[in-house]
Amino acid sequence: MKTLLLILGYLAAVSRSWDPCIKHKCLNQPWRSTNCVGKQCSRQVQCDKNLASGWYRFTSRGGSTIPETVVPASRCSTHATGWLRGSHPSRRQGIVKRTVCFHWSGKTCRWRQQIKIKRCNNFFVYWLQRPPACSLAYCTGTLVFGNDVKR
């Protein structure tokens, strides 16, 4: 019985260590905000070309979610703005696959990148990878949870 309890405790600890709600990196860059026009929030045009693949949570005052609507080009301190084509998942849905589109040169989905999203208690985590070109960046905005607005 003790062996079984030890094994179950070990498996629970291992499963928590793989949960992206617990194990993720934070991106705290206000320049990602959809309110940042051109280089207004950053001294240079930003690009996510050096972003390592992995789970991330956006934590800046500029927003904590990837917008679900087209973001005008030349916002978020970049040229081609990343927005979510589709919706964020419910907690019940678990981890879902979605597409981020990058808006540039009159094309709202000029480039595409596959990502994963998981809803945690009151925030989202995203499995991101570097975009297919520069200058492309993942933008942030706000999303409504019930009656609460989350940045």
CB-CB neighbours of 45 under 10 Å: 14
Q: What is the mean pLDDT of residues 75-84?
A: 98
d(CA 142, CA 105): 25
d(CA 37, CA 95): 32
pLDDT in tens, 60-74: 999 999 999 999 999
For residue 149, the one-letter residue type is: V
pLDDT in tens, 80-112: 999 999 999 999 999 999 999 999 999 999 999
User: What length is written for the chain?
Assistant: 151
Buried/exposed code over 140-151 (b: 16+ C-beta within 10 A; e: otherwise):
bbebeeeeeeee
Q: What is the mean pLDDT of residues 20-45?
A: 96
pLDDT band at 8 (very low <50, low <70, confident <90, very high): very low
Do residues 42 and 36 lie in contact, with contact meaning Cβ atoms separated by under 8 Å? yes
